[in-house]
Amino acid sequence: MLDISDTQKLMRLLNQVQVIFDKVGPQIVIHTTTPIPPPRWSAPTSKLPSSVCTREHKTQVSQNKKIFEFVYIQKAAEAHILAARAFLDPASALGVTGKAFFISDGKPEPFSDFVRRCYSDTGNPVSPQDVAIIPLTVIQAMASTGEWVFKIFTFSSKAPTLRRDSINHLDKGCC
């Protein structure tokens, strides 16, 4: 694993990459799955306690059959740095120039299983038997209705929290 604690080295490397990109344009395409922070990081789980208080943590949308891929943000950053180093190294630059890279941790899982792991990490484990499953079509209908109600009564000046665009991905998966 790279030690990226030395900010000056990282900034020099990024400046070198920027100079090259300014001269020749981007030659490497890097696509990552949804980056998530490390397991014990508190920011993404800051909304979890409030959902525990309202018992939302025992609710699941859809049958949890679609597979999703997540990658820790340090691994995504590490991959970008390794690609930049390879691009800057004349010996390996031809091997990465014009290539596309997909960054993944190689462990796809159903979305609700991932969310349950997050709840478990915050000290609120939920067993699959305790979960109420709401069909995705019901949630999509609620979201669409809410969007129309907001559109009509606020003259499109406000948007609801639950939007169809924010839940449609649960029907697709990514793997």
DSSP secondary structure string, 163-175?
-GGGTGGGGT---
Question: Is the alpha carbon torsion for 118, 119, 123, 126 positive or negative?
Answer: negative
Q: Are 96 and 86 in contact (CB under 8 A)?
A: yes
Q: 92 vs 11, which has greater pLDDT?
A: 92
> Kindly report the CA angle at 108 between 47 and 60, in degrees rounded to 5?
45
Query: pTM higher than 0.85, yes or no?
Result: no
Mean pLDDT of 55-60: 86
**What is the tens place of the pLDDT at every residue in 96-137?**
777 777 777 778 888 888 888 888 877 888 888 899 999 999
Mean pLDDT of 19-44: 52
**What is the tens place of the pLDDT at every residue in 151-173?**
999 998 998 988 888 888 788 87
- Split at pLDDT 50, 70, 90, the class of 22 is low
Question: Is the alpha carbon torsion for 134, 137, 141, 144 positive or negative?
Answer: positive
Mean pLDDT of 18-23: 58
For residue 61, pLDDT beyond 80: yes
- The DSSP bridge partners found for residue 110 are 67
For residue 69, pLDDT beyond 60: yes
- Split at pLDDT 50, 70, 90, the class of 83 is confident
Is residue 57 exposed (0-12), middle (13-18) or buried (19+ Cβ within 10 Å)? buried
